[in-house]
Each structure stands twice: as C-alpha cells, then as structure tokens.
C-alpha cells in the first residue's frame, strides 16, 4: 500500500474521531478496547513468544544478511566493470569536470577555513580579555576584602585594648 495513502487515511480517521461530538467518548472506548487487547494474557504471551523468536533468529538473519551482502557486492562489482567498460569516454569527461569542481571546492574550503581561523582567533582574544577583566575584578575584590578584614581586626583590637586601659586607670580598692 502506498504510504501516503496510509498516512492520509490515518489522518482522516483521527480527525473524524476527534472532530465528532462524541469523539472523546469514542476515543476512550477505542482506547479501552485496544488496551484490553494489549493487556490480554494471550497477546502478552504472543508478544513474549515473538520477542524470544526474534532473539533466536537474530544470529541466523544476520548471517543471511551478511551472505546476501557479499553476494550483492560480487554482483555489483561485475556490473560495475561492465558499465565502466561501456562508459569510458563519459567517465573521462566526468573526471575532468570533477577535478575542476574539486579545485573550486578546495579553494572555497580554504577561504572558509581562513575565516573560521580568524573568527576563532578573535573569539579567543575576546575570551582572554574577558578573563583578564574578571581576574582583575576578582583581585580588586580580594584586596578590598583583605583591607576590610584588616580594618575590622584593628578596630576589634583597639576596642579590646581600650577595655584593658580602662581597668588600669581605675584606682585599686583597699581591701
């Protein structure tokens, strides 16, 4: 069956089911029937049997596919030799055109590679500049944090020393 017709038929069926007034009810009913069939123990057993069969047959199918591929390669090689013998003049012409096209492509690739290299160099330079900026910012923040910490420690030391000085200034009580 033509895949396009199948896709069209499925689309029409979905549109009908979803587009009717009671489309949701029909959809739910169909879904329940499908789920009932899917969950049926006989269907589950059949699925397991098919999976087991597929696992058993996989090596055999692989061997057959490899043999078919080898046979096809041999047949293709023989056919290719026949075709090559009959189209030598055309192949030479195509070869010349392909060589010219390859040179054009090589030149364009070289140009694109140069552009990419230039852009990568620019991006790398921008990244280095950004990294240097971030590093400088972090260094400035670190220095600010150290200055703040030193200032806070100095203030705490002075407060502690003031309390000791106040105790020394008090007259000693006579006991």
pLDDT at 168 over 60: no
Instruction: Select, from the ranges 80-84, 148-152, 158-162, the one with the highest average predicted confidence (pLDDT).
Output: 148-152
Indicate the DSSP class of residue 20.
S
Token pair of 149, please? 């910490």
**15 contact partners, CB below 8 Å, separation of at least 6:** none
- Whole-angstrom Cα distance, residue 165 to residue 45? 94
**What's residue 20's pLDDT?**
67
Which pLDDT band holds residue 23 (cuts at 50, 70, 90)? low
Is 26 in contact with 17 (CB distance < 8 Å)?
yes
- Whole-angstrom Cα distance, residue 146 to residue 142? 6
**What DSSP assignment string belongs to 76-140?**
HHHHHHHHHHHTHHHHHHHHHHHHHHHHHHHHHHHHHHHHHHHHHHHHHHHHHHHHHHHHHHHHH
Residue with tokens 């059949």: 46
Mean pLDDT of the chain: 83
pLDDT at 44 over 60: yes
**What's residue 11's pLDDT?**
83
Cut 0.85: pTM above it: no
């Amino acid at each position: 069956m033509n895949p396009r017709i199948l896709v069209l038929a499925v689309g029409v069926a979905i549109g009908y089911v979803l587009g009717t007034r009671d489309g949701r009810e029909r959809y739910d009913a169909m879904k329940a029937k499908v789920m009932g069939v899917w969950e049926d123990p006989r269907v589950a057993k059949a699925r397991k049997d098919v999976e087991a069969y597929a696992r058993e047959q996989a090596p055999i199918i692989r061997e057959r596919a490899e043999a078919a591929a080898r046979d096809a390669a041999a047949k293709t090689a023989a056919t290719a030799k026949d075709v090559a013998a009959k189209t030598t003049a055309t192949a030479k012409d195509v070869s010349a055109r392909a060589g010219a096209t390859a040179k054009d492509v090589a030149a364009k690739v070289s140009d694109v590679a140069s552009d990419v290299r230039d852009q990568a160099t620019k991006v790398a330079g921008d990244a280095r500049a950004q990294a240097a900026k971030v590093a400088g910012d972090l260094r400035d923040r670190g220095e600010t944090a150290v200055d703040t910490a030193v200032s806070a420690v100095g203030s705490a030391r002075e407060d502690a020393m003031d309390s000791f000085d106040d105790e020394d200034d008090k007259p000693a009580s006579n006991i």
